[in-house]
Amino acid sequence: MGSVEVYILGQQYTIKGDAPEEYIRQLADYVTGKIKEISDTAPTITPLKATILAAVNIADELHKLKNEQEDVARSIEEKTVALTRLFE
């Protein structure tokens, strides 16, 4: 397990994990970008509130993708069952 130094909102963080360094940096850049989007939209927002709103937006993206994945998996399962019945 390695560690990577990243910066988010000018703060240095040490991220430890098994993921490749480049991937961890991409994640940090993504989070920074989301926070920046919020800050650009509402320049007077505090960094903490911008970070929380960015976290909520990222959670929303995650849940939408999970729901899409579940829908695709369900569709594949239904089609598999239908195709299997054709060969019975």
- Average pLDDT for runs of 10 along the chain of length 88: 92 95 96 97 95 98 98 96 90
Rounded to two decimals, the pTM is 0.81
CA distance readout (Å), 47 to 24, 37, 52, 65, 83: 22, 12, 9, 27, 53
* The pLDDT value given to residue 34: 97
Residue pair 31/54 in contact by the 8 Å Cβ criterion: yes
